[in-house]
Structures are given as structure tokens and as C-alpha cells.
Amino acid sequence: MGYHDSVERSAEYLRLALPLMSKQAAALNPICYAVWYDYVSGRNAALKKRIDELTRDGSPLDDEATAELFHCHVAEVDEKLAQRVSQDFQKIMADVSKSAAEAGSDAGQFGNALEKWSADLAQATDADATNLAVLLGQTRQMQHSISSLKNRLDESQLEIDRLRQEVARARQESLADGLTGLTNRRGFDQALTDCLTAKDDSGHGPCLLITDIDHFKHINDSYGHLFGDKVLRAIAQVVKDSVKGRDTAARYGGEEFAILLPDTPIEGAQTLAEQIRTKVERCRIKRSGSENAIDAITISIGVTVHRAGEAAHEFIARADGALYHAKNQGRNRVAVAPAAA
């Protein structure tokens, strides 16, 4: 579902959504706003029907109910779109807060002017003095209302800032592999898409390394899965220490790792692959409770460079093909896929 509303229309939706949001028992955050934005816009019939059912008896929606509505009826929007909606909401709130501050300042100046006039009109008639007193009282009441509004908006802004930090942290965690700390498959796919769609002035395409631990099933069967996890973490550390800058090191799946090198030519990628292979081969990993290291762990690596116009899955398939060639040639080696078709 896309959001293509004009500034005027989106501002109107905000005006309609805020009173409804304030009546609920949920925090005023971007998730809540997205739900009520869709509700007042009328574009999401299923969401509107469900909210009307839940609130028919006057019960307010709490955080849990709002989050469920968001995930069931709104969250099909893509990640970048959701992030943009959140940013737009924050900008609108900042603009409203700024407008409230400016209105408060104007009201303050007007009130000060009335105070001065009141002092100057000592000779005014009783009727004039009464009217001026009423006007002054209304101005003070307006100042108080605007001040209260600004305080609430400031509190909401702090809540939005906190939520954005939590979302950013959760997003980072969602793109990381829990065992190794490397980027996970989802994060790698996103990095690869971004890399292939970015303008490249280097004169060469990005390079890709796909690695696989040799005889990993035998390691698990012989020493147990806990030791297998230790091997994965150790190799992940070697891979992590070997990348820099815009490079992406990821756990691609199981015992496979992928390294995306946006700024490295094929010769440099091959050299890096050999360095990683050698470092892993020299590692001596000990079992817990034992001082004896097991036999050398080795990896095989496939290397390739992106061809102009090549789709991501074709790029990966050629790196995979080079990896299996290295396996078939005896393992513990680097194989490079041909650059030209």
C-alpha cells in the first residue's frame, strides 16, 4: 500500500487522526499514527471495519491491540516505506510543535501589549476597563492552552525519538546473525541489492566470495553441535577481521559465508580469499575442557566479479559454481569463476 497524499491532504488526515489517537490507551508513536492515518483516510476498509468492531462499546485501544492492527492490516508496506512514514510523522509533529511555540510567542507578545494598555488606560471608562479585563483574561487562557499543547507535543517528540532509536536498534539486530554476529541472509540480500543498484564509477563490478566449511557435517557428528558452533564463530571472526569499509561479511546459511566487496577488483578479491583460507587453515580450535586442538579446519571459497546487467541470483549462482568447483578439486582451495561469459 503506497502513501501518495499531498501535503494538504496529509495534514488534514493528521488533524483528524490526533483526536482519535488521544482517546486511546496506546502510546502516540508512529505505529499508532500509521493505524489511525489509514483509518481516517478511508483507504483501508478491513482496518476500519476491525477498529469499528473493537471500539463499538467505547473501549479504547491499548498498545497490544494497536500493534496487532498494525501488523495485520498495515505492515504489508515495505521497510523503506514504513521508515518514510515514520520520518514524515516526526516532521509533521515537529512542525506542529514549532507552530505551537510560535503561536505561544505571539500570544505572549499580545498579552504583554494588553498589560501595557491596561496600565495606560487609567482614565478609561468602567466599560472599557471591563472589556479590556475580559480580553486580557481570554488571552491568558489562550497562552495557558498553547503552553499545555506545546508541552504535550514536546513529550510526544521525545517518545518518537526514543521509539526511532529502538526501531533502529531492532532493525540492526534483525539483520545480524545471532550465533556469529555477522550480517544474516536477509541483511546480505539487502546489501547486495543496494550494491547492484548503486552507481559505480570504479570501472569494475563488485566481487563476491562464497565460502563453505569443508566436511562440516563430519565435525558436528564427531565433536558435537556445540563444538560446531564454536567453529562457526571462529571462522566468522576471521572473515569479519578481513573486511573493511563498505564490504559486507554475512553468514549466508548453515556453514556458508558470503563476502560482498563493492570496491575490490577481481585480483584483490582472489588475494583476500587466499588470505582468509590460509588464516582458517592455521587456526587451531580446542574443544571445551581439553587442551588438545582438533585436526585443521579448512574452507573452500568461490570468487567471482559481477557482469554488467547481471541479476543478483545469477551473480550468486556463478560464485556458488566456483565454490563447488573448489570442492570438486579437493577442497581447501580458492576457485575463480570466469569474468566473461
Q: Indicate which residue of 255, 256, 281, 291 is catalytic.
A: 255
Torsion, CA 137, CA 141, CA 142, CA 145, rounded to 10: 180
Rounded to whole angstroms, the Cα distance separating 261 from 205 reads: 9
Rounded to whole angstroms, the Cα distance separating 82 from 158 reads: 20
- Angle at alpha carbon of residue 74, lines to 6 and 175, rounded to 5°: 105
Angle between helices 126-174 and 79-120 (to 10 degrees): 160
DSSP one-letter code for 253? E
Contact of 319 with 310, CB cutoff 8 Å:
no
Strand, coil or helix: 300:
strand
**Is 159 part of the annotated catalytic residue set?**
no
Rounded to whole angstroms, the Cα distance separating 105 from 142 reads: 11
Contact of 235 with 306, CB cutoff 8 Å:
no
Rounded to whole angstroms, the Cα distance separating 333 from 325 reads: 10
Nearest to 167 by CA among 89, 239, 252: 89
Q: What DSSP assignment string belongs to 145-157?
A: HHHHHHHHHHHHH
- Determine how β-strand 207-213 pairs with β-strand 248-253: unpaired
List residues with catalytic annotation: 255
